[in-house]
Structure 1
Amino acid sequence: MSSNQYSNYNLRQAEWEGILIDKWEPCKWKLWKAKQSAKDEFIKLEREYLRIKYSVTQANLALSLDAVKVKLKLTNGKTIALQGTFPCKPGDIGKNNSSNRQYTISLGFAANDVGLKAAIAKARNLDLLLMTKQFQWTAELLGKQAQKLIPISVESAVKTIGELINDYREEFWKTHEKNRQGIKTWESHYLRHLKKLPQDEFLTEDALESALKNTRANSNSRFYLAWQLKKFCQFCDFNGSKIIDSYATPLPQPTLRKIPTDEEVVNGFSTVGEPLSSHASKDVTKPEQWQWLYGMLATYGLRPHELFAIDLEAFTDTNNKFHLVYLNPSLTEGTKTGERSCGIPPLYPHWIELFDLKNIKFPQAGGSLSNKTALIHIKFRNIGIGFKPYDLRHAFAIRGHRLQVPIKTMADYMGHTVQEHTKTYQRWMSEDTNLQIYQEVVIHRQGTSKEALKERIKELEAENLSLKAENESLKGILIKHRLGELLNGG
């Protein structure tokens, strides 16, 4: 047989006893044309084709057992290709606009034992790149298509988790304003959780699991870490849902706070002005300055950082008859929810004088806004006052309910939505607080209504007697009038 005949021979068209070669069971490759001479070169090619086809089937079975998603494919009698689902090639679009689609990649592996081993090694390598989200279409993988595209680097730099987080940060700033609140959101809601990942490793399921294992089950930290890892994996186009979901935990119910009563708030004013001996030398803020800050938090329900956004000139203006507080977001590079749509009034105006708030005693300590805000939290903790700065804000919200201020109005005063107001602040209303509101609003109103009703009944009874007397008088006049008509007519 000439070499030309050998190279042009299409063994996949071979047939024996009415059975095409591709319909034959590859495991029975030795039985192919068993009755014919094995010296026939074509028969040798056909049996070798079946043997390699069987070997490919066995190799794919082994790859499946190892969870390798890239498989081998005997494209013809001469080469072994790789088949799997890969990110779309440049210019391609997946089914239903998916970013992935199935490709058969031909790298010229010969259909023999050496080519088989090389193809298996390449399949495992590509699967690892896909799993770690490091797969890139190189000129080798694109083949002839690479010549039609802009040159692609042979290997893109493999990025660690730390480098991916930096990319994530850049993406974050595309949709967020780079102000104080934006920075706080990134640090508190994003970076705080992502820092738990091993920064110098590649993004893998093991890396995700190492971070999740270090958080307590059924905790806030576990819930928010899982939530953020899902967003991060989505950005990195890494499928980590399975491992994240296995550690997922429902959002725990918050621990109930003990909101200070009005009496406790007033007593706290004196406590916050007492320096601790062990901290006195370090505390540069004077006692009267701490008291002024405390009084403003208690009277106006401010967030601690909003103390530094108060328009002091407008607050002390003589025309400010209702003692409204206005916030200037530019002083703190933005407040949490933007600028208030209205001034904030004191729900207890007499606290203005009680806490001497119009006599401004604003601390002049330097440092960043975050540091100055943190000092307030530290001060409350160190003096053992029994509640936190934010608890004064919760007390302000509950006070508004007791005074029957409409929920929408209270939400405006506090700078958030009605939904946030009802979800967050009504949750802290204890049984005693609810009972107090009931007594003040319902019982008092009911008592007032009873007294008013009694007075109204008395008025109606007197009016009824007056009408009866007037009715009798009219009857007498009518009788006299009719008698006069009868006498005249007679």
Structure 2
Amino acid sequence: MPQKSLTIEAINERLKAAKIGVRVYARGARQEKLSLRAVLPPKPGSKRQKPYQQYLSLDVYANPTGLKFAESEAKRIGGLLDQKRFEWDVVAQEVDRSKETCGYWIEKFRQDWLKSQTGDKDAIALSWKEQFWYPAFKWLTPERKLTADLLEQTTLRWKPNSRSLQIGCQKLQRLADFAGIGCNLRSKQGNYSLNKVVRNIPPDDQIIAAIDNINNRGWQWIAGTMATYGLRDHEAFLCEIVYKEYEGESWPIALVPDATKTGNREVFPLPLSWVKRWDLMNIEKPEITARLNKDYGDRTSTQFGRYKIPFRPYDLRHAWNIRAALDLGLPTAVAAQMAGHSATLNLGTYQKHISKVRAAQAYFEALKNNNSGE
């Protein structure tokens, strides 16, 4: 069955074809709020004696969610009018009750959040989905009443002490605070911390062997780019690699665009030899469908599992940061800038996974270079 067109014009055509005497209108200064218009009985206290054309405000926005609600309300009001059961007091109470639902408060929250957003509309819409909808709000049934009990029940869907639970509780708490619902969801977010995550970062020879064995050119290019430039999975899909002149020489630089987690930046290869090893200047990415940055991550993790790579995609980013610190001696602030995070995060999250063997190697190398081992 084809999906219904969600425009005011299409909705009104359907109402007309169904012989329902109610129409949907966009009103307000910017025509952003929806109302119904129909021949309705006089309101209580009115001097009018006979029904006449009136508006019934729905207090919902002219977006897909609001338009669906408006069409369903138009059918319901039309049915009440046909049965001569329309009563202003009853309808007003029912509309007021719709303002207590999850869908109503999520939309109100979104509209308030939009006031602080600037830039490209598509980028803002993507940011909303990644920041709020997918981590938390999609688990709230739009028609259900938003209550403290419902919010607390929703937190049970995530694993204890997980990053997902931590983020979900934080987002739901913001919605609860906005709606004036008293609850303490932050107390349920557990004790997840990046500092408690244990990672076994693969050495370079293991990284080389794993990527060499990827027999799909596109996925080898993605893995090679992540390893060589320390990129997040979605950044590898969205980046370009171009030659740029520095100090009179051409360098293969990864250009990370604005549409990524931390915005545009330039990243140098480490080590340089991997650019040639995996022919990274010859860009060939897998053809996948992805709407969100998260989708790129999911596809990449699946492929790493398929090729039986003995480490996670994100470990390549950790390895690059450790390589920058130990092999190149790159200042933490510079490495953090290239990686697209803070110096504090670089030290606390990435460099903390330096193994004892790698630390010892770095120490003896430093002694040798400084001729101070005598």
Q: TM-score, normalised by structure 1?
A: 0.50
Residue 367 of structure 1 aligns with which residue?
289
Letter in 1 for 2:231: L
Cα gap change, 1:364 to 1:395, in 2 (>3 Å): closer
Letter in 2 for 1:250: N
- Give the whole-Å Cα distance in 1 for the aligned partners of 2:128 and 2:261: 13
Residue 92 of structure 1 aligns with which residue?
none
Letter in 1 for 2:321: A
Residue 193 of structure 1 aligns with which residue?
136
- Give the whole-Å Cα distance in 2 for the aligned partners of 1:181 and 1:433: 41
* Conserved? CA contact 1:216–1:222, under 8 Å: yes
Match of 1:301 among 213, 227, 230: 230
Match of 1:416 among 316, 331, 341: 341
Cα gap change, 1:302 to 1:161, in 2 (>3 Å): same
Q: Does 1:435 align with 2:360?
A: yes
Task: Give the RMSD, CA atoms, in angstroms.
Answer: 2.9
- Give the whole-Å Cα distance in 2 for the aligned partners of 1:175 and 1:218: 31
Q: Deviations over 1:349-385 (max 9, x none)?
A: 2222222223x14136253354455322211122110
Deviates further, 393-402 or 295-304? 295-304
Cα gap change, 1:349 to 1:444, in 2 (>3 Å): same
Q: Does 1:270 align with 2:212?
A: yes
Q: Deviations over 1:219-259 (max 9, x none)?
A: 33333332222211111122223xx3663533345431221
Q: Does 1:227 align with 2:190?
A: no
Deviates further, 347-356 or 179-188? 179-188
- Give the whole-Å Cα distance in 1 for the aligned partners of 2:283 and 2:158: 43
- Give the whole-Å Cα distance in 1 for the aligned partners of 2:121 and 2:309: 33
Q: Does 1:348 align with 2:285?
A: no
* Conserved? CA contact 1:197–1:210, under 8 Å: no
Q: Does 1:162 align with 2:115?
A: no
Cα gap change, 1:195 to 1:412, in 2 (>3 Å): same
Match of 1:257 among 187, 196, 199: 199
* Conserved? CA contact 1:300–1:347, under 8 Å: yes
Letter in 2 for 1:367: T
Match of 1:321 among 250, 259, 281: 250
SS in 1 for 2:255: coil
Q: Deviations over 1:446-487 (max 9, x none)?
A: 6x1356xxxxxxxxxxxxxxxxxxxxxxxxxxxxxxxxxxxx
Deviates further, 158-167 or 171-180? 171-180
- Give the whole-Å Cα distance in 1 for the aligned partners of 2:139 and 2:354: 35
Tell me the CA shift for residue 392 of structure 1: 0.9
Q: Does 1:236 align with 2:179?
A: yes
Q: Deviations over 1:129-158 (max 9, x none)?
A: xxxxxxxxxxxxxxxxxxxxxxxx965622
Q: Deviations over 1:52-77 (max 9, x none)?
A: xxxxxxxxxxxxxxxxxxxxxxxxxx
Residue 304 of structure 2 aligns with which residue?
380
- Give the whole-Å Cα distance in 2 for the aligned partners of 1:224 and 1:413: 26
- Give the whole-Å Cα distance in 1 for the aligned partners of 2:179 and 2:318: 40
Match of 2:113 among 156, 161, 172: 172
* Conserved? CA contact 1:311–1:327, under 8 Å: yes
- Give the whole-Å Cα distance in 2 for the aligned partners of 1:397 and 1:352: 17
Tell me the CA shift for residue 181 of structure 1: 6.0
Letter in 1 for 2:332: I
SS in 2 for 1:323: strand
* Conserved? CA contact 1:305–1:373, under 8 Å: yes
What residue ranges of structure 1 are gaps of 5+ in the alignment? 1-152, 274-286, 452-490
Q: Paired residues, what number?
A: 274
- Give the whole-Å Cα distance in 1 for the aligned partners of 2:353 and 2:125: 29
Instruction: With a CA cutoff of 8 Å and minimum separation of 6, indicate the structure with the bigger relative contact order.
Output: 2
SS in 2 for 1:426: helix
* Conserved? CA contact 1:272–1:380, under 8 Å: no
Residue 316 of structure 2 aligns with which residue?
392
- Give the whole-Å Cα distance in 2 for the aligned partners of 1:349 and 1:215: 41
SS in 1 for 2:285: coil
SS in 2 for 1:165: helix
Tell me the CA shift for residue 395 of structure 1: 0.5
What residue ranges of structure 2 are gaps of 5+ in the alignment? 1-90
* Conserved? CA contact 1:271–1:385, under 8 Å: no
- Give the whole-Å Cα distance in 2 for the aligned partners of 1:223 and 1:372: 22
Tell me the CA shift for residue 289 of structure 1: 2.4
Tell me the CA shift for residue 185 of structure 1: 4.3
Query: Who wins on radius of gyration, i.e. which is larger?
Result: 1
- Give the whole-Å Cα distance in 2 for the aligned partners of 1:246 and 1:196: 19
Cα gap change, 1:206 to 1:267, in 2 (>3 Å): same
Tell me the CA shift for residue 399 of structure 1: 0.1
Residue 155 of structure 2 aligns with which residue?
212
Percent identical pairs in the alignment equals: 27
Q: TM-score, normalised by structure 2?
A: 0.64
SS in 2 for 1:348: coil
